[in-house]
């Protein structure tokens, strides 16, 4: 497997290590909600070893272009970019029950309709699919969200539970981040 130089934004939440914690394996279908700079998309694509897919979903077209260009440079053929507003119904543009893992990182503090994000994750996840959430646990010296915008771990869990998820486990996602792995509740 070819490895690449990490992107500079990795220092705070350790994308390569975190992706390993998520149990990403070749052949999986993964959706990255609010993919931003793409640091996680690229780490997931590498872990998938050019099998399966990783969907980079964001509302910022310029960031999606950069992800697409970087994936092309690295010869990752399993990265698909989707320009979309995830706060709208069916916002991911992905079919029902299609993905194995939905990944949400550093997005909750940036959006108003958090419930919509979790509902969309539940819609596109396969029956035994997982949801992974990494977000800021605090505001750190002007980096990340303002203190008033931080979405606590407990608040993120409330949103997830109201969309039908249950906590499987927590993990250390970085010095100023929390990590959650959830599953859809069995009905």
142: pLDDT strictly greater than 50: yes
92: pLDDT strictly greater than 60: yes
Collapsing DSSP states into helix, strand and coil, what is residue 106? coil
Main-chain dihedrals φ then ψ at residue 180, nearest 5 degrees? -130, 140
Q: What is the pLDDT at residue 150?
A: 64
Q: What is the pLDDT at residue 173?
A: 78
Of all residues in the chain, what percent carry a pLDDT higher than 70?
84
The answer to whether position 4 is within a domain reads no
How many distinct structural domains can be found in the chain? 1
Mean pLDDT, rounded, for 89-97 = 94
Cβ proximity of 32 and 77 under 8 Å: no
60: pLDDT strictly greater than 90: yes
Mean pLDDT, rounded, for 110-128 = 90
Tell me the two tokens of residue 103: 């990944």
Cβ proximity of 42 and 67 under 8 Å: yes
The CA-to-CA distance between both ends of the chain, in Å, stands at 40
Mean pLDDT, rounded, for 107-136 = 88
Inter-CA distances, 124 with 96, 114, 118, 181, Å: 4, 16, 10, 16
What is the helix (H) or strand (E) element at residue 61, kind and residue range? helix 61-73
Summarised one tens digit per residue, pLDDT across range 37-52 is 999 999 999 999 989 9
Cβ proximity of 174 and 14 under 8 Å: yes
The answer to whether position 182 is within a domain reads no
The answer to whether position 2 is within a domain reads no
The answer to whether position 111 is within a domain reads yes
Higher pLDDT, 116 or 111: 116
Question: How many Å apart are CA 166 and CA 172, to the nearest integer?
Answer: 18
69: pLDDT strictly greater than 90: yes
Cβ proximity of 44 and 54 under 8 Å: yes
Q: What is the pLDDT at residue 184?
A: 87
- What is the number of other CB atoms lying within 10 angstroms of the CB of residue 160? 24
Question: How many Å apart are CA 106 and CA 44, to the nearest integer?
Answer: 16
Average pLDDT of every residue of the chain: 85
Q: pLDDT band at 151, cuts 50/70/90?
A: low
The answer to whether position 72 is within a domain reads yes
pTM recorded for the entire structure: 0.87
Q: What is the pLDDT at residue 5?
A: 38
**CATH number, position 53:** 3.40.50.150
The answer to whether position 183 is within a domain reads no
The answer to whether position 19 is within a domain reads yes
30: pLDDT strictly greater than 90: yes
Size of the chain in residues: 187
Higher pLDDT, 83 or 143: 83
Q: Could you list the residue range(s) of the whole structural domain that residue 130 is in?
A: 11-175
Higher pLDDT, 15 or 102: 102
The answer to whether position 161 is within a domain reads yes
138: pLDDT strictly greater than 80: no
């Amino acid at each position: 497997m070819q490895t690449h130089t990490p992107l500079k934004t990795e220092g705070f939440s350790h994308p390569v290590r975190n992706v390993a914690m998520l149990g990403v394996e070749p052949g999986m279908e993964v959706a990255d909600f609010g993919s931003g700079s793409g640091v996680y998309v690229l780490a997931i694509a590498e872990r998938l070893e050019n099998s399966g897919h990783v969907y980079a979903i964001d509302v910022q077209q310029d960031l999606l272009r950069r992800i697409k260009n970087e994936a092309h440079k690295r010869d990752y053929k399993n990265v698909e970019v989707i320009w979309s507003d995830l706060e709208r119904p069916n916002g991911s543009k992905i079919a029902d029950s299609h993905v194995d893992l939905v990944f949400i990182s550093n997005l909750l503090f940036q959006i108003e309709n958090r419930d919509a994000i979790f509902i969309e994750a539940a819609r596109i996840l396969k029956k035994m699919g997982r949801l992974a959430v990494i977000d800021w646990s605090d505001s750190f010296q002007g980096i990340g969200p303002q203190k008033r915008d931080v979405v606590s771990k407990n608040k993120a869990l409330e949103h997830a539970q109201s969309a039908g998820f249950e906590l499987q486990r927590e993990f250390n996602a970085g010095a100023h981040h929390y990590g959650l792995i959830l599953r859809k509740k069995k009905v």
